[in-house]
Structure 1
Amino acid sequence: MYPPTHSIHSLFDQLGLDSSQQGINEFVSKHSPLAADIKLHQADFWNTSQGAFLQQMMNEDADWAEIVDELDAMLR
């Protein structure tokens, strides 16, 4: 099994967010728990391009999908 291509830190960079461990922890604390009936990309704290990126990565099962899943789990 190969290690993930991307990290949670690189996902936060891609989304234009603070990718430091403290920044990630603060983001998760501020935005969780995310309701079970809301898909990650539909959460109201994303701007249009961030939500579209998350949706596209999941739809395409891209290299980012595993890390997007990790973020989703962190917010639940």
Structure 2
Amino acid sequence: MFDEQPTLELLFQQLGLDSDQASIDRFIEEHQLDQNTPLHKASFWSKNQHDFIIGHWKKDDEWAIPVDTLNALLHQNDGVENVADQ
């Protein structure tokens, strides 16, 4: 079990991405999604990243909050879509 309350930085670590603030900001800027692309269906995720994101979101566990935050940040230019929209 995970001992810390998950944060956006920890989510990036779990996804195998650089997790310092500058890297997170750059990722968000470079990976904006349109309103028709749900977070988990973005083309830039590996299968493992996709599975982590959708699995924790569906379980609505402690990772759901940082996943929702990432979803909002990646859709900030087009409005926020629900991570599970298909």
| Equivalences for residues 17-56 of structure 1 within 5 A | 17-32=17-32, 34-56=33-55
CA shift digits 1:14-63 (9 cap, x unpaired)? 0000000001001001101x111111011001001001110001110011
* 1:54-73 equivalences in 2 (<5 Å): 54-73=53-72
TM-score calculated relative to the size of structure 1 = 0.90
TM-score (norm 2): 0.80
Aligned counterpart, 2:11? 11
- 2:61 alignment partner, SS class: coil
**Aligned partner letter, 1:19:** S
Q: How many residues align?
A: 72
Q: Partners of 1:60 and 1:75 in 2: how far apart?
A: 21
Identity %: 39
Structure 2 spans left out of the alignment, 5+ residues: 76-86
Task: Tell me the SS of whatever aligns to 1:55.
Answer: helix
Q: Structure 1 or 2: larger helix share?
A: 1
Find runs of 4+ consecutive structure 1 residues off by over 3 angstroms: none
Q: Which amino acid aligns with 1:24?
A: I
